[in-house]
Structure 1
């Protein structure tokens, strides 16, 4: 089975976006070698929930990032050192405002057509076209990008600099031309150049992929369609219950699945740990739309001071997490620093009450806060999947309630949650959103913290911090270690202003039975079925 960053933090090549739910794992480890390959076997993979529409450019779901790598390839992949390595691209040059790729000419789409440089360029043109309403616009490629190609190369030039642009653009799944012409054709199917092609899809239940025996164009040393042990069939089953996934692993009915919490503990020593990694799994956005109480910086800080972020982290991660350090924690971690810990408002309930009093939100005889006759009641959106998430939302409401702030819950499943926060004008309705997004570099996440609100952009909470924007612009002028240091400064401003409050990150593990990793790098591995 081909598993390029499979169960990876789902973020390299596809943004991982969730309402504070955990995700997959990152660095591949696999089991020890030596097993006898199973020829033309079936690999059974348990997925935590249905991925939704199977087109990354319209669906930022973290779970989709565990499905696309079977059928799609990207221009580059990143090794364990965070260095780009060639995949569909053979050579490349990069500056903060441009990327030039020389691309291979032997990759064949699953519909039998040849993948061309023009089709690769069209992937990015499709994203950049505002008429397509891509969730990747300005995340992967800016709307004002200049995209050019000839027979052998693709060049993307941007107005604004980004020192990490290759991470977003280089790792985006590349779709074949027919898919771009009509994305509905791949809503529950695939059309890429990867080792597998989807042959059956039952939404909410399972997805079946078959090996392409003619696949030979992977990076040097990568497995092909003829490599012994590469499964002929992959069945991706939707198994939402954590305990059920663990039980199916133990009974060998699943070969691969991500499991967390107490169920992961009982798997330790019983099955192999295939991959590990971290995800930002808990965070709070406060709306800054005109007229919302949370548009007031002091109100946001007060609401944050009223929360015990350590307790919220423990509850949201079932005691398995740690406090979030920064925006980008997904592998490969290009920057490593702790901007959140020193800069987020510290828990201080008494100070929170004083700040709200000063902001005009006074307690009445009933203990509830009002201002000019309007009650301070937060409309609170969160994804309803998982007992931990619901418990975290309830704990937030209780802690805000203790200072006289009311909460109306808008808990919903993933699809409804994303739909609600993505509606035009949603920031004028929703006061706070429990949300986390994952990507290896901070610059790619700015679409959620700056710029246009839906439908023109993905700034769900209408965040508006001019100082932060200035620091981001400055950070984008640098490269390497200087860029990381500048981004740490920019993030510090966002946390001090309580624009976004990340509070938890979790370690994820994917477990395997009857699988060995065989590949050229930990981030580019094949899963070989063994007896």
Structure 2
């Protein structure tokens, strides 16, 4: 129990979100111009696992608690963080209780109550709902309202780390009144609600143009009457990372631009204009190549990349998966595309440091072309006249897709050349980020559909504890038609032993044991080739030198404290 108390006490900091620069009354600083080169497709993060949707919506809809820039839990819509010490977490670890702050209102002026939390849980766990954030509610047995200001969460079994449901930008609360007719299969069709959610955050959506522009205005019912300082926000989407960086750093047209995935030397040149600055924070973000464990042959039609398609004809071979990783020189990729904002990695959980494994570094971090070739040769994959390896009529030729971005396309070219050295061919494709990360179940080009053999992108998790993130690779989290293609297990990896270990982690209180289990799970994913981790990425964005109050946050939404932003006077 001592270790459990240390875990719960050390994870939280029950501090109210405070402002930074002194602010005048609400709305005195005009329009805040934000640029996302990956355009936003919805303001409902439960229908898209894309970071851009999570970040944009965080200005409007909020969780009960979020993580600050230090990775500590802070109350947002509640009076304090529940712990064993304050009685908010039950001694048997089977329940926790949150107390809502007095007089919290939705942007339409109606009271925010525990019923909204109950509804949100039901919304995300509804059959056929295709909730992209289902892992956040893993192990929740019930959500109840002892009174309108109290939320009681009961777990199916003791939950040593209970901070998941309604915590962080990926798990906000949505209004029951607005979404009650949008449950289950009806969820994607509720356009008005998904584009213009009623929220408790500092801003309200005035106009939403999918994959283009979002116009927001200050929430007149926001709980702090002096905030936000900005009267409105214009969030423009589209373009590319370099043009987004230029719009802040060189021309000063925008106040903030997210995700500066731009070559280091290009950013250095832009900085000389003196219009903006770069902000970076290392959290849990990893650029990775997912390997499809299901057959992605287009000839399979609607069955492709589903369980019905069967195992992938070549990537189901562990030797092939290992050889693809061995052939990659991560140092070159890091130098070419990331510089100081990246570090080569073999982990899918790269941080915090206590959770970062080193087990696979000896074979994974350094390129080994000779070893990769031997591995394939010994497994029976022989080179043909064209130099491409094949076995039993199956060629090692892969469709390799990612989002459109100069750094990613350069990485594709580098990886293609490295794989060619071991007799593996790659056809390179890319799709607009707004489509690739959009989560539209009707689109064939989303990362969830995974209509390719391998695909590359970055992902991360809220907060500092990886339990709910590691649960994304459970066998029942595979995307497919039955869940609206919103399952989080993108590689279609399935190992019952992995599932058992995740279950053990969910029951473990001892901090050192949790760290050990998390490392084991991380190592299984790398060793068994669920994916190929490439670069531990720092989150790097840019903002105008006239913008104050920005606290770069790698543990939650980068816009987590946008209510505190103001214009330098």
Which among 311, 332, 336 is matched to residue 311 of structure 1?
A: 332
Alpha carbons 2:43, 2:197 under 8 Å: kept: yes
Alpha carbons 2:388, 2:397 under 8 Å: kept: no
Hey, what does 2:185 align to over in structure 1? none
2:551 is the alignment partner of 1:498: no
1:48-67 correspondence to structure 2 within 5 Å: 48-67=37-56
Please report how far the alpha carbon of residue 56 of structure 1 lies from its aligned counterpart in structure 2 after TM superposition.
Answer: 0.7
Q: In structure 1, what is the Cα distance between the partners aligned to 2:415 and 2:397? A: 13
Hey, what does 2:316 align to over in structure 1? 295
Please report how far the alpha carbon of residue 364 of structure 1 lies from its aligned counterpart in structure 2 after TM superposition.
Answer: 2.2
Q: Cα 1:376–1:79, aligned 2, differ >3 Å: closer, same or farther?
A: closer
Q: In structure 1, what is the Cα distance between the partners aligned to 2:541 and 2:194? A: 28
Hey, what does 1:276 align to over in structure 2? 280
2:452 is the alignment partner of 1:430: yes
Please report how far the alpha carbon of residue 126 of structure 1 lies from its aligned counterpart in structure 2 after TM superposition.
Answer: 0.6
Q: In structure 1, what is the Cα distance between the partners aligned to 2:379 and 2:142? A: 46
SS of 1:67 mapped into structure 2: helix
Alpha carbons 1:379, 1:432 under 8 Å: kept: yes
SS of 2:315 mapped into structure 1: helix
> Deviation string for 1:244-279 (max 9, x for gaps)?
334433444322223453453232782454743135
Hey, what does 1:530 align to over in structure 2? 568
- Which has the larger share of strand? 1
Hey, what does 2:419 align to over in structure 1? 400
> Deviation string for 1:106-128 (max 9, x for gaps)?
21112232211011121111111
Please report how far the alpha carbon of residue 347 of structure 1 lies from its aligned counterpart in structure 2 after TM superposition.
Answer: 2.2
Tell me whether 273-282 or 71-80 shows the greater mean CA deviation.
273-282
Which among 137, 141, 144 is matched to residue 145 of structure 1?
A: 141
SS of 2:475 mapped into structure 1: coil
Q: In structure 1, what is the Cα distance between the partners aligned to 2:353 and 2:96? A: 18
> Deviation string for 1:250-309 (max 9, x for gaps)?
444322223453453232782454743135241122223324311122221112112222
Alpha carbons 2:346, 2:361 under 8 Å: kept: no
Please report how far the alpha carbon of residue 511 of structure 1 lies from its aligned counterpart in structure 2 after TM superposition.
Answer: 1.9
Query: Which of the pair has the greater relative contact order for Cα pairs under 8 Å at 6+ separation?
Result: 1
TM-score of the superposed pair, with normalisation by structure 1: 0.81
SS of 2:195 mapped into structure 1: coil
Q: Cα 1:500–1:237, aligned 2, differ >3 Å: closer, same or farther?
A: same
Alpha carbons 1:274, 1:510 under 8 Å: kept: yes
Hey, what does 1:108 align to over in structure 2? 105
SS of 2:321 mapped into structure 1: helix
Alpha carbons 1:97, 1:158 under 8 Å: kept: yes
Q: Cα 1:134–1:268, aligned 2, differ >3 Å: closer, same or farther?
A: farther
Give the total of aligned pairs. Answer: 488
TM-score of the superposed pair, with normalisation by structure 2: 0.76
Q: In structure 1, what is the Cα distance between the partners aligned to 2:381 and 2:38? A: 41
Q: In structure 2, what is the Cα distance between the partners aligned to 1:244 and 1:430? A: 29
Hey, what does 1:321 align to over in structure 2? 342
Tell me whether 308-317 or 59-68 shows the greater mean CA deviation.
308-317
2:543 is the alignment partner of 1:511: yes
Please report how far the alpha carbon of residue 155 of structure 1 lies from its aligned counterpart in structure 2 after TM superposition.
Answer: 2.5
SS of 1:254 mapped into structure 2: coil
2:407 is the alignment partner of 1:369: no
Q: In structure 1, what is the Cα distance between the partners aligned to 2:417 and 2:278? A: 39
Q: Please report the RMSD computed on the Cα atoms of aligned residues, expressed in angstroms.
A: 3.4
Hey, what does 2:406 align to over in structure 1? 387
Tell me whether 55-64 or 450-459 shows the greater mean CA deviation.
450-459
Alpha carbons 2:204, 2:216 under 8 Å: kept: yes
Hey, what does 2:503 align to over in structure 1? 473
Q: In structure 1, what is the Cα distance between the partners aligned to 2:395 and 2:528? A: 23
Alpha carbons 1:324, 1:340 under 8 Å: kept: no
Which among 451, 463, 467 is matched to residue 493 of structure 2?
A: 463
Hey, what does 2:177 align to over in structure 1? 178
Please report how far the alpha carbon of residue 57 of structure 1 lies from its aligned counterpart in structure 2 after TM superposition.
Answer: 0.5
Which among 469, 472, 479 is matched to residue 454 of structure 1?
A: 479
SS of 2:32 mapped into structure 1: strand
Alpha carbons 2:349, 2:522 under 8 Å: kept: no
Which among 118, 142, 151 is matched to residue 121 of structure 1?
A: 118
